[in-house]
Structure 1
């Protein structure tokens, strides 16, 4: 790694954004694994769960100053073990300099100085950061957008982003793979085996209502008006020529535009985040107001309607409300509360 953007995080704000960095729950993880054992909690790097029969049957939290290492299935000291859900928490505790992924933006990496501070760098045009190799690589797929971060090593699981595929998790990483031995071309997460019949129902996806594919080209997306209106980006403290332009149809999709009038290349935010066009980056859905389908790319059962006095049921698109005694819906913690949550989605009415 060379130069990086020296911007020190305000810890409280960064921890809030990191709280929705993955979009998975422990139940989501267990559904993809036919085996039995401990897994990490995607919303709390100190937390753990225990999978059996594709269900979370036990859960708990490591003690103070410890984090859960899903690959080893044990609680380990936060001073030596990265937090799987937050670069900020990692840097606040780790005692040796280390590079880790920024889970809110796959093109960025974070540098912990071993003394509690964090600074960010950028992989540049077309690059993404791979935490397993602590280096930048060619995108667009994000190595960290993977359930293997929270699963034991050396197991096979179903791919929650593409039902019928499997992932071989090794040391927190894995690649979606299709079964190839005909006629057994579909992976069944319940049995851990490939089979000839399709076990998928069509609802097993994080992509919501997307009609786009990664790398899809648009001749109109980078038009001069939209390009000029897009937020200017800086890398290593200097403004770059390219911009990210919203696809204007989803909350999580954007186009990479090298310049005004160039071809646009579609990409999507890491699971659990959405694209804020005013910032030109992927952030927590609760930190801004998207006027499209907010259920896309989040793997959540419910998402707040602007103002948080009601919420959307993602499986049906219907709207529901909390009881009058706790009238506000807090989508980050998935609870109804009598105090309005301090998120932009709740305070923007």
Structure 2
């Protein structure tokens, strides 16, 4: 990363040299790439000159330099200037041989080499750029406040990314405007950038079914209820002091090969529980009994997802043996 401290002046140059050994500024606490699929490239929300490539939910940074000091999130290239509305349209027309602050960063700055060319630089760790004094100063001496960012200022149109408010929700920018979308009968998989079978998505924010913990007139207190999305998942509705329904019930799920039974509020063997969701979810078996009446059909499972349903014809399916048998075999789920 290039530093232009020597251009600022003797005093400022001395400060920069003394602080050079501190290293780069620490990254944000929560990686923004948790929202994006692999190889998605965005502009760093903390700089007009940096790009981020997301790989396995981890940010990998690149910095634009020289006479193309700005990163264009639409083209994915370093450019000489930006004219969008993301407050990154810095102009050197009236600031030749001067330094301008990076509006997205307290430690970034631009040196206007001439009236058209801005060169990017950063202050050392624990310092901020002071546009008034044209120097890098200690953080405790700085009054810097960066401008807030909107996702559509750093992500190009048409790129899906996760909405952490619910497993079935995601965002996409359209004409520079943030749109909220909902998967139909599926959950959003951030790593794939698309809606997928619920069983394939590790969900931390299951959408709450309507009146999941009852109503104001009839709240469910200290009760376990189905999550309405998976065969294994359930919510615990805790009793509230004011007598209202629990607005934030705790989610959990049954162990492998166990489904949640709403009637008994317990985890039971999967072949004993009726469930409309994917019956291969959390199963360790490759073949499981179908809920089709007669117990003569079975499901083929792969990684917790149903591939298809097969019939045993006039035979019965034995889940323990994983095969069709002549002996009459029934389970509560298909009896």
User: Above 0.5 in TM-score?
Assistant: no
Q: Which has the higher contact order (CA 8 A, sep 6+)?
A: 1
State TM-score, norm by structure 2: 0.34
